[in-house]
């Protein structure tokens, strides 16, 4: 029996049942009105005038073109930003070089700058009165108010997603495995494919999913550089705004339901990837637990 009197642990924040239930209730209420309620309203209003109106809106040529342009932007921007994110994360976490901190700052810029500000900046770079405008006009190359401008703006706002998912994980993993593989004679590319990539694949897929969702839902930067030309340079978010301003609320909600479905699929994919990643961690941890 110990001579020292037993010491009670100080209560943690939230141990009080009333406080805990109140806090959970507030979070649920805010989550419902801020997140769930808008999705429910989109689903209800999309079919408010019946299935026929919904179907006619979805198969309308302008809507199909907007969907196709959005998908095209994603098919180009996501792979390029994935390659950039992998290269940036690999360089920052595996090598020491001058300008490393500057590269970290560059990666954070898209999260710090408003997308609309970025779109306006592109006007001063690629516009007719911009830095490269006269040269592009002389060669009859059109960047702004065309598909290239939409892709560039989409790439800017999503340039950080993959890198931000990979850098913390690769920093935590260190360089030991790569250095061991190199000492055994593996080339840099072989080391990346056999050692680095398998260890970060879940974070990489997660970053790609977030990047894709943001590309398809981007509005601010694209609205500035696209010109909002109906049936030509309107992506799906711009098409939704156009329908709403034309007092076609049912059509706007019908088009918005496509993006809402994308959000739902993104959440499902996120949950599945988190479960896969957690399951992989448990499987690799079990052998160590058995030997300990």
DSSP string across 227-264: ---TTTT--HHHHHHHHHHTT-HHHHHHHHHHHHHHHH
Q: How far apart are CA 123 and CA 222, in angstroms?
A: 11
Query: Per residue of the chain (292 residues), what is the pLDDT tens digit?
Result: 455 555 666 666 666 778 888 888 999 999 889 888 888 888 888 888 888 889 988 999 999 999 999 999 999 999 999 999 999 998 898 888 888 899 999 999 998 888 999 999 999 999 888 888 888 888 988 888 889 999 999 999 999 999 999 999 888 888 878 778 878 777 777 888 888 888 888 889 889 988 998 998 899 899 999 888 888 889 999 999 999 888 888 889 999 998 888 878 888 887 887 777 655 555 555 544 444 4
pTM: 0.81
Alpha-carbon distance values, 165 to 105, 161, 207 (Å): 15, 6, 6
Q: Kindly report the number of other CB atoms within 10 A of residue 84's CB atom.
A: 17
Give the largest Cα separation in the chain, rounded. Answer: 92
Q: How far apart are CA 99 and CA 104, in angstroms?
A: 9
The token duo for 205 is 């897929």
Asked if 260 and 42 count as a contact pair (C-beta separation under 8 A), the reply is: yes
């Amino acid at each position: 029996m110990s001579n020292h009197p037993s010491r009670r642990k100080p209560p943690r924040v939230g141990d009080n049942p009333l406080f805990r239930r109140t806090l959970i209730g507030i979070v649920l209420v805010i989550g419902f009105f801020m997140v769930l309620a808008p999705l429910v309203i989109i689903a209800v209003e999309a079919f408010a005038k019946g299935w026929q109106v919904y179907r006619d809106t979805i198969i309308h040529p302008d809507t199909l073109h907007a969907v196709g342009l959005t998908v095209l932007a994603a098919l180009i921007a996501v792979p390029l930003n994935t390659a950039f994110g992998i290269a940036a994360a690999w360089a920052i976490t595996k090598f020491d070089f001058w300008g490393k901190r500057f590269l970290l700052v560059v990666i954070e810029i898209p999260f710090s700058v408003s997308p609309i500000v970025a779109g306006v900046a592109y006007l001063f770079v690629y516009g007719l009165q911009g830095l490269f405008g006269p040269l592009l006009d002389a060669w009859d190359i059109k960047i702004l108010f065309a598909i290239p401008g939409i892709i560039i703006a989409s790439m800017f706002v999503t340039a950080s997603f993959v890198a931000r998912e990979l850098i913390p994980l690769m920093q935590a993993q260190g360089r030991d495995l790569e250095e061991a593989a190199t000492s055994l004679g593996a080339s840099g590319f072989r080391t990346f494919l056999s050692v680095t990539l398998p260890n970060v694949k879940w974070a990489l897929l997660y970053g790609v999913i977030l990047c894709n969702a943001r590309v398809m839902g981007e509005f601010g930067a694209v609205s500035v550089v696209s010109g909002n030309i109906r049936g030509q340079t309107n992506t799906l978010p711009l098409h939704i705004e156009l329908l709403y301003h034309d007092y076609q609320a049912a059509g706007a909600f019908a088009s918005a339901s496509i993006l809402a479905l994308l959000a739902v699929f993104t959440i499902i994919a996120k949950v599945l990837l988190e479960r896969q990643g957690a399951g992989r961690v448990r499987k690799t941890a079990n052998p160590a637990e058995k030997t300990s």
